[in-house]
Amino acid sequence: MDSVKNSNILDKILKKYANPQRSDLSKILLDVQNEFGYLSEELIRKVSNFVGVSATETYGFASFYSMYNLEKPGKYVIRACKGTACHVKNANRLIRDIENYLKIKPGETTKDGLFKFEVSSCLGVCALAPVLIINDKTYTRVNSKIVKSLIDEIRRGNSSGS
């Protein structure tokens, strides 16, 4: 957190928990992550102090569950499905092509911070496989050419500093 504004935002979140208990840790971390996009070391330290547990314990808790982001996510999160229906429709090739095109592995973010790539065991749209989600938009029956086009379109839209 690099500003008084961020500190005020965190204080506002923490005030919702008048007498924080260890059992509140999960809810507090989710609230903080929803506001900041991820849980930085500083945020984990401040939440730990607030709840009264060690930062090591909080980090261990947050790193155990995949719902918490411990790194700043890319502006665009690309989530590819590798479930059975998608697997049958060449999801592994699609995933490999995304890795090669973005030059990152699942769980990583591009150096420019624009894309984070994740792989999911199922995205719940099996009838329309293979499936890809970019942020909150779902793309169905995708192939490598479509994905490359989507990524290029996003890059063009962000090249002017927008």
Q: What are the residue boundaries of the structural domains of the chain, listed by start?
A: 4-64, 76-158
Q: Do domains 4-64 and 76-158 have the same CATH topology?
A: no
Scan for tokens 């790194």, then name that residue. 71
How high is the pLDDT of residue 87?
96
b (16+ CB within 10 A) / e for 147-160: beebbeebeeeeee
* Cα–Cα nearest to 7, from 52, 43, 48, 51: 43
How high is the pLDDT of residue 114?
95
pTM for the predicted model, two decimal places: 0.67
Q: How is domain 4-64 classified at the CATH fold level?
A: Arc Repressor Mutant, subunit A (1.10.10)
Contact between residue 93 and residue 56 where contact means Cβ atoms under 8 Å apart: no
How high is the pLDDT of residue 1?
46
User: H or E stretch including 61?
Assistant: helix 55-64
Give pLDDT tens digits for 83-110.
Answer: 999 999 999 999 999 999 999 999 899 9
**What homologous superfamily does CATH list for 76-158?**
Glutaredoxin (3.40.30.10)
User: H or E stretch including 43?
Assistant: helix 41-51
pLDDT tens for the chain, 162 residues long, are 456 677 889 999 999 998 999 999 999 999 999 999 899 999 999 999 999 999 999 999 999 987 888 888 889 999 999 999 999 999 999 999 999 999 999 989 999 999 999 999 999 999 999 999 999 899 999 999 999 999 999 999 987 654
